[in-house]
Amino acid sequence: MIRARGVLFALLCLVLAPAVGTTAMAQDAQGPVEGTDYTVVEGGQPWGGADGKIEVLEVFAYTCGHCAEFQPMLDAWVRKLPADVRFEYLPAAYDPGNAFGRGFFVAKAKGALERVHAPMFRAVHDDGLLAHNATIDEVAWFLGERGLDKAASKAAMASPEVDALMQRAREFQLGIRLRGTPTLVVAGRYVVTPRTHADALRITEQLVARIRSGALPSAR
1: pLDDT strictly greater than 50:
no
CATH of domain 96-176: 3.40.30.10
Mean pLDDT of 99-111: 98
Cβ contacts of 5 within 8 Å, gap of 6 or more: none
Q: What pLDDT is attached to residue 218?
A: 81
- The CATH architecture annotation of domain 36-92+178-220 reads 3-Layer(aba) Sandwich (3.40)
Distance CA 219, CA 130 (A): 38
77: pLDDT strictly greater than 50:
yes
Q: What pLDDT is attached to residue 9?
A: 32
152: pLDDT strictly greater than 50:
yes
Lowest model confidence (mean pLDDT) among 11-20, 78-87, 145-154: 11-20
Residue 22: which region, alpha, beta or left (left: phi > 0; alpha: psi -120 to 50)?
Answer: alpha
Tally of CA atoms within 13 A in the half-sphere of 2 that contains its CB = 0
Lowest model confidence (mean pLDDT) among 48-52, 120-124, 156-160, 199-203: 48-52
Distance CA 103, CA 145 (A): 13
Q: What pLDDT is attached to residue 13?
A: 39
Mean pLDDT of 184-194: 98
CATH 3.40.30.10 domain residues, the chain: 36-92+178-220, 96-176
- Count other C-beta atoms under 10 Å from residue 67's C-beta: 23
Rounded to whole angstroms, what are the CA distances from 70 to 118, 126, 155? 11, 14, 31
Return the SS3 of 82: coil
Distance CA 153, CA 175 (A): 29
Kindly write down the DSSP assignment for every residue of 145-185, as one continuous string.
Answer: HTTS-HHHHHHHHTSHHHHHHHHHHHHHHHHTT--SSSEEE
Q: What pLDDT is attached to residue 29?
A: 57
11: pLDDT strictly greater than 50:
no
Share of the chain above pLDDT 70, in %: 85
As a three-state string, the secondary structure of 4-72 is HHHHHHHHHHHHHHHHHHHHHHHHHHCCCCECCCEEECCCCCCCCCCCCCEEEEEEECCCCHHHHHHHH
Picking from 115, 102, 214, the residue whose alpha carbon sits closest to that of residue 166 is 102
Q: What pLDDT is attached to residue 220?
A: 62
pLDDT, tens only, 85-99: 999 999 999 999 999
pLDDT, tens only, 194-216: 999 999 999 999 999 999 999 99
Mean pLDDT of 37-57: 96
Q: What pLDDT is attached to residue 12?
A: 34
Distance CA 96, CA 168 (A): 10
Distance CA 145, CA 82 (A): 33
Farthest-apart Cα atoms in the chain, separation:
82
| Beta-bridge partner residues of 185 | 57, 191
40: pLDDT strictly greater than 50:
yes
